[in-house]
Amino acid sequence: MFDTKKPYLRALPVGLALTPIGVLFGVLAAQENWTFAEVLLMSLLGFSGSGQFTYLGFTAQGIESIGYISAFIIILSINLRYIPMSLSATNHLKTNAINKGLLAHFLADESYAIEDKYDTIKNKTIIRTTIVFFWALSTSTGVLLENIIPDNANKMLIGLTFPVSAILILLSTSNVIDYCSKKLEKYTIRKIALALSLSVISILLLGAQYFWIPSIIISYGILKYKRDTQHDD
C-alpha cells in the first residue's frame, strides 16, 4: 500500500520547487507597483500561478484596454481544469460542504499530482496547505527582494515565466511514469495520441475559443470514474 504517512515529505519538494517561481512573481508584481499585502492576498485567495501571471501581464499591458470582463473570462478559461480535478479529488471525501469547498480551493496541479487514493482528509489538507504556504511565502518575499535587486537584473526577469509550465510538465510526466508499468507503456502512448487527436478535432469543429468545453466535461467523467473505481478498491 502507498505510504500515506508523512504527507508533508511529499509536499516539501514541490513547495521548494515552486519557491523561485513565486519569488519571480513577487518581483515582477512589485515592478508593477503591487504592494506586499496585495500580492499576499492574491496568492492566498486567488492561489493560481497561471492565473496570477496572466493577470499580472494584463495589468502590465493596461488592463483597461483589455477589459475586466475579458480578463476574467480568459483567466477563468485557463483555470477551468480545476473543476473536474477538484470534484474528482474532493467529492468522495466524507466531510461537509464547507470543508470540501476549502479543500477544493487549495487544490493545485502539483498537489493533485502527488496525492494518492489512500490519502485521508488530514493528509490532503497537509499537502495542499504546505504548497499554499510555500507559494504565498515566496511571492510575498519576492516583493521585498525587488527593492534590493539591481535595475539591470530586474529587466532580465521580465517574461521569465516558463518555469511554471516546465514544473507542471515534469510532475505530470513523472506521475505517468511512476503509475504505468512497462507493460502498459504502449497503451499510455495510445491514450496520449488519442487525446491529442481529439483535441485537434475539437479545435477544428468548435474553434480555439470553445474547444476546451467538451474536454472539461470528458475529463471530469474520466477522473470521477477512475477515482470512484480506486476508492471502491
* pLDDT tens digits, one per residue of 145-164: 888 876 666 555 555 545 55
pLDDT on residue 1: 43
> pLDDT tens digits, the chain, 233 residues: what are they?
444 468 888 888 888 888 888 888 898 888 888 999 999 999 988 888 878 888 888 887 787 777 788 778 777 777 777 877 777 777 677 878 888 888 888 888 888 878 877 788 888 889 889 999 999 999 999 999 888 876 666 555 555 545 555 555 555 565 556 555 545 556 667 777 887 888 788 888 877 766 767 776 777 677 667 666 655 55
0.75 cut: is pTM over it?
A: no
Which helix (H) or strand (E) segment holds residue 200: the answer is helix 185-206
User: All 3 cell numbers of residue 116?
Assistant: 494518492
pLDDT attached to residue 169: 58
How far is residue 104 from each of residues 26, 47, 94, 101, 198, measured CA to CA in Å? 24, 11, 14, 5, 28
What pLDDT digit, counting tens, does each position of 196-227 carry? 888 788 888 877 766 767 776 777 677 667 66
pLDDT number for residue 2 = 46
**Contact call for residues 37 and 152 (beta carbons, < 8 A):** no
Q: Residue 233 corresponds to which cell in the numbers above? A: 478498491
Q: Is 2 exposed, middle or buried (0-12, 13-18, 19+ CB in 10 A)?
A: exposed
What span, in angstroms and rounded, lies between the C-alpha atoms of 147 and 27? 9
